[in-house]
């Protein structure tokens, strides 16, 4: 079964600095991978997804993610963080008839 | 506007008092599911439904029931709630198999005393 792991529970970053959130997957074949964001008090919103092809995926809100098979990773990045990026971020992959989510990484943005 | 609507958004109840959390979608999606979110555990699937009258258990179905009598609605039923069901619940819909995007409701925060 396909699963994902997010090693970082909490990350604090300064506004304007770069951000990278880690996601590791476990699956032999090419996985489907997603990143979702949950703003405080809100549901989850899809940031980007990877199915195949170009390993660098562009998403909404200025985010991108790179699929690296050699490292079994699908890390999310943003070059310059805004205060509104403070949220919880989830990596996910399909598993049978559901999405399996990582435990999430909470991002705090300091002024 | 595409919407997944959950009600209630917030509820405090007592052990054993049956409750239902409703979920309604206007996107004509066949696939619907329920997740619960707990700190440090991410989201875990409770039940899912591939279509009307077709439902199946997810990872954590104990203590929950669902029904899918019509395409747009997928209520979550807690027949006898217990404190370990205190959680944040999300309903989600999907338009085309596992490759499709999940659309989430805004969540229902349930506290069982």
**Burial (Cβ within 10 Å: 0-12, 13-18, ≥19) of residue A44:** buried
The C-alpha angle A47, A1, B99, rounded to 5 degrees, equals 35
How confident is the model at residue A33, as a pLDDT? Answer: 92
Instruction: Spell out which residues of chain B touch residue A1, defining contact as CB-CB under 8 Å.
Output: none
User: Residues, chain A, total?
Assistant: 111
pLDDT digits (tens, 9 = 90+) for B3-40: 999 999 999 999 999 999 999 999 999 999 999 999 88
Looking at chain A, which residue has its C-alpha nearest residue B96?
A97
Please state, in angstroms and rounded to a whole number, the distance separating the CA atoms of residues B52 and B69: 6
pLDDT digits (tens, 9 = 90+) for A18-73: 999 999 998 766 678 999 999 988 889 999 999 888 899 999 999 999 999 999 99
Interface test with B, best of A36, A42, A97 (most B CBs within 10 A): A97
How confident is the model at residue A54, as a pLDDT? Answer: 87
- Cβ-proximal residues to A108 (8 Å cutoff; 6+ apart), any chain: A10, A11, A12, A13, A86
- Cβ-proximal residues to A1 (8 Å cutoff; 6+ apart), any chain: A95, A96, A100
CB distance A101–B58 less than 8 Å?
no
How confident is the model at residue A81, as a pLDDT? Answer: 97
Annotate chain A with three-state secondary structure: CCEEECCCCEEEEECCCCEEECCEEECCCCCCEEEEEECCCCCEEEEEEECCCCCEEECHHHCEEEEEHHHCEEEEEECCCCHHHCEEEEEEEEECCEEEECCCEEEEEEC
CB distance B45–A98 less than 8 Å?
yes
Q: What is the DSSP letter of B16?
A: T
CB distance A99–B43 less than 8 Å?
yes
């Amino acid at each position: 079964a396909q699963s994902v792991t997010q090693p970082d529970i909490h990350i604090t970053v300064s506004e304007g600095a770069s951000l990278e959130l880690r996601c590791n997957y476990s699956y032999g074949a090419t996985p489907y991978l997603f990143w979702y964001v949950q703003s405080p008090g809100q549901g989850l919103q899809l940031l980007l997804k990877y199915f195949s092809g170009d390993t660098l995926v562009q998403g909404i809100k200025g985010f991108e993610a790179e699929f690296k098979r050699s490292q079994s990773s699908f890390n999310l990045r943003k070059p310059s963080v805004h205060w509104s990026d403070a949220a919880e971020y989830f990596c996910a992959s399909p598993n049978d008839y559901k999405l399996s989510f990582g435990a999430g990484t909470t991002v705090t943005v300091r002024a | 506007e595409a919407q997944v609507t959950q009600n209630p958004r917030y509820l405090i109840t007592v052990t054993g008092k049956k409750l239902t959390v409703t979920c309604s979608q206007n996107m004509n999606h066949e696939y619907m599911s329920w997740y619960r979110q707990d700190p440090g555990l991410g989201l875990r699937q409770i039940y899912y439904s591939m279509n009307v009258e077709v439902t199946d258990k997810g990872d954590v179905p104990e203590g929950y029931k669902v029904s899918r009598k019509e395409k747009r609605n997928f209520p979550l039923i807690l027949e006898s709630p217990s404190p370990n069901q205190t959680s944040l619940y999300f309903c989600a819909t999907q338009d085309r198999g596992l490759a499709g995007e999940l659309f989430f409701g805004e969540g229902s925060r349930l506290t069982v005393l």
